[in-house]
Amino acid sequence: MSEYILEAKGIVKTFPGVRALDGVDLKIRRGETHAIVGENGAGKSTLMLVLTGVHRPDSGSILIDGKPVAFSTPHDAVDRGISIVFQELSLVPSLSVAENIFANRQPTGFLGLIDRKKLNDKAREALALFDLDCIDPSTPVKYLSVANQQVVEILKAISTDPGVLILDEPTSSLTETEAQQLFENIRRLTARGIACIYISHHLKEIFEIAKTVTVLRDGHYVCEAEVKDIDEDYLVSNMVGRKISDIYGTRPDPKSFGKTRFEARGLGRGNDFSGVSFSVRSGEIIGFSGLVGAGRTELARAIFGAEPADSGELFLDGTRVAPSSPGQAIALGIGYLTEDRKTQGLFLDFPIRLNIAANRLREFSRGFFMSEKLIEEGAEKAVRDFRIVTAGTGKSLRALSGGNQQKVLLGAWIGTEPRFLIVDEPTRGVDIGARSEIYGFLRALAAKGTAIMMISSDLTEILGLSDRIIVMKSGKVKGEIDGPKATEEAVIALATGTDEGACD
Ligand SMILES: Nc1ncnc2c1ncn2[C@@H]1O[C@H](COP(=O)(O)OP(=O)(O)OP(=O)(O)O)[C@@H](O)[C@H]1O
Ligand SMILES: [Mg+2]
């Protein structure tokens, strides 16, 4: 028996114009959690797609238990015990929990008909592994929380009894508590001898869950280390090849803020939120904190005219406005960077340059016509300014790494120089280097006079960047804290306050 359950040696993978992997090595021991870190576009997901038979490497070898293997299809990899939970969830929303877990491998009975009882029993057994016996296996997965959908996804991946389970950015849509639950689940899997490959941009998590870590940079293998022997600085300097000291920059003096740019008075909509009032001054970044379900995204969508509020008033530079569609909001100078780049905001199969132009049609037009030249110039500037890693602005967005997609989206909005910009989870899935760049861009935009509302579940980011923090819970504003004076405890106390006895 080899010391390693899975090994990759000298993997090279090129796409037209990009060398995504350039001689990468990886060694995974049985039952360990092995983290892979690297900046956006470093090649992490590509390496995983090679290990799971989705991409065929140009050269290099894969060994399982010391023996070379070649995968021609993802099926081959599954057969050899390699399973993956993708960066973006891939369940069928209308199918039941049980059907999703055993997709393609449903137990059949007489005449090959699916044996529903057997299917549900087996699913119940699987759910019990993670103490989720309370979930009825016949529930369509669309009714499950994101965290529980992910559990289903993991159960689906381990239903084939793999030796290695790959998790690509599994915590990017989870709350802190849900992430802790996931870690507990990972520990249960490794205790059963399953090795987990864990990809995340949250370096704290690496120290919490992983035993070993491999660092990639620009498609190259940089180093491998035992987590107990290293610290965060060591990881960061190996990932980005430089030291990053202050990722949030310095906060401006509140005296430099201008007049009230945006104001909401008593906004409400159904059960989503009610009585929400706040104002943001020109130059100010106001952070919105709260648990998932606190109503922050619903509030943002209302302000943006996507689902208008049914009570309350909005003011931009002192004038009452009532956008009833995103188009009207954009025309007024309101921008909204959505939290979910997969379903909103980006056109994955369209070229980068059109994604950047999408919100700026007026700026890129001459008379009635769109100017190809202006679009191209604008796109190239965004690619340069945001250091988007791509072979060209004509490439489709799908070919970009997750973090680079986020930078395209941000580039599209910042280019419009909105009066009021809402950014919803602006750095989800974004690496530490790009994150500090994004904070810099937001600061620079604010300095030019834009008022910014930042919704974030990342408490460190809220505390690091906000000039003022508003905490929401169950659709209501629970309090406001001065940014520089805020502490984690103070924000959490407001976000979880039990004054109404509601449990989120
Ligand atoms: N299907 C594809 N076609 C063309 N280029 C691709 C494709 N998939 C990935 N790439 C390129 O390969 C490089 C590595 O991308 P990959 O998705 O592996 O990065 P990553 O480390 O997972 O980044 P992130 O942290 O942003 O998810 C990037 O430059 C990306 O643009
Ligand atoms: Mg990736």
Per-residue confidence (pLDDT) for residue 275, from 0 to 100: 96
Distance 429 CA to ligand 2 centre (A): 8
Lookup: tokens for 198: 């864990």
Residue entry with tokens 């559990």: 151
To test the pocket of ligand 1, the residue of 12, 15, 395 to mutate (highest count of ligand atoms within 8 Å of its CB) is: 15
Per-residue confidence (pLDDT) for residue 184, from 0 to 100: 93
Distance 201 CA to ligand 1 centre (A): 15
- What's the mean per-residue pLDDT of the chain? 87
The fourth-level CATH superfamily of domain 259-496 is: P-loop containing nucleotide triphosphate hydrolases (3.40.50.300)
Cα–Cα distance for residue pair 91/96, rounded to 1 Å: 10
Distance 403 CA to ligand 1 centre (A): 9
Whether the predicted pLDDT of 396 surpasses 50: yes
Higher pLDDT residue, 358 or 219? 219
What would the pLDDT profile of 68-90 be if each residue is shown by its tens digit? 999 999 999 999 999 999 766 67
Per-residue confidence (pLDDT) for residue 368, from 0 to 100: 61
Distance 84 CA to ligand 1 centre (A): 17
Tell me, yes or no, if the pTM score tops 0.85.
no
Per-residue confidence (pLDDT) for residue 48, from 0 to 100: 96
Higher pLDDT residue, 246 or 284? 284
Whether the predicted pLDDT of 119 surpasses 70: yes
Return the closest-CA partner of residue 251 out of 483, 487, 486. 483
What would the pLDDT profile of 399-440 be if each residue is shown by its tens digit? 787 778 888 888 878 877 899 999 999 988 788 888 888 898
Per-residue confidence (pLDDT) for residue 229, from 0 to 100: 96
**Residue whose CA is closest, atom 6 of ligand 1?**
399
Helix-then-strand count for the chain, H and E: 16, 22
Cα–Cα distance for residue pair 363/346, rounded to 1 Å: 19
Whether the predicted pLDDT of 111 surpasses 80: no
Whether the predicted pLDDT of 178 surpasses 60: yes
H-type helices in 265-418, by residue range?
296-303, 326-332, 352-357, 372-385, 402-414
The ligand 1 atom nearest the CA atom of 44: 21
Whether the predicted pLDDT of 125 surpasses 60: yes
Residues 164 and 27: beta-carbon distance below 8 Å: no
Per-residue confidence (pLDDT) for residue 502, from 0 to 100: 36
Per-residue confidence (pLDDT) for residue 500, from 0 to 100: 43
Cα–Cα distance for residue pair 289/301, rounded to 1 Å: 16
**Residue whose CA is closest, atom 31 of ligand 1?**
400
By percentage, how much of the chain surpasses pLDDT 90? 53
To test the pocket of ligand 1, the residue of 171, 401, 437 to mutate (highest count of ligand atoms within 8 Å of its CB) is: 401
**Residue whose CA is closest, atom 28 of ligand 1?**
41
The ligand 1 atom nearest the CA atom of 87: 27
Return the closest-CA partner of residue 183 out of 214, 147, 158. 147
SS in 3 state form for 107-137? CECHHHCECHHHHHHHHHHHHHCCCCCCCCC
Nearest ligand to the CA of 167 is 2
Work out the average pLDDT over 207-233: 95
Q: In the sheet where 18-29 sits, what is the strand order? A: 18-29, 4-15, 59-64, 67-69
Cα–Cα distance for residue pair 96/98, rounded to 1 Å: 5
Q: In the sheet where 476-482 sits, what is the strand order? A: 334-337, 420-424, 451-455, 285-289, 468-473, 476-482
To test the pocket of ligand 1, the residue of 45, 216, 348, 383 to mutate (highest count of ligand atoms within 8 Å of its CB) is: 45
- Maximum average pLDDT range among 225-229, 342-346, 390-394: 225-229
Q: Which residues line ligand 1 (CB under 6 A)?
A: 15, 18, 20, 38, 40-46, 389-390, 399-404, 431
Predicted confidence band of residue 175 (pLDDT cuts 50, 70, 90): confident
State the distance between the two ends of the chain, measured CA to CA, in whole angstroms: 48
What would the pLDDT profile of 252-266 be if each residue is shown by its tens digit? 999 999 999 999 999
What class does CATH assign to 4-240? Answer: alpha beta
Per-residue confidence (pLDDT) for residue 369, from 0 to 100: 64
**Residue whose CA is closest, atom 19 of ligand 1?**
41
Higher pLDDT residue, 481 or 339? 481
Work out the average pLDDT over 487-491: 88
- Maximum average pLDDT range among 3-12, 101-110, 370-379, 421-430: 3-12
**Residue whose CA is closest, atom 1 of ligand 1?**
399
Give ranges for CATH 3.40.50.300 in the chain.
Answer: 4-240, 259-496
Predicted confidence band of residue 179 (pLDDT cuts 50, 70, 90): confident
Residues 479 and 277: beta-carbon distance below 8 Å: no
Residues 337 and 423: beta-carbon distance below 8 Å: yes
Residues 420 and 316: beta-carbon distance below 8 Å: yes
Whether the predicted pLDDT of 245 surpasses 50: yes
**Residue whose CA is closest, atom 9 of ligand 1?**
399
Distance 293 CA to ligand 2 centre (A): 26
The ligand 1 atom nearest the CA atom of 49: 18
Distance 249 CA to ligand 1 centre (A): 28
The alpha carbons of the chain give a radius of gyration, in whole angstroms, of 24
Nearest ligand to the CA of 402 is 1
Higher pLDDT residue, 343 or 286? 286
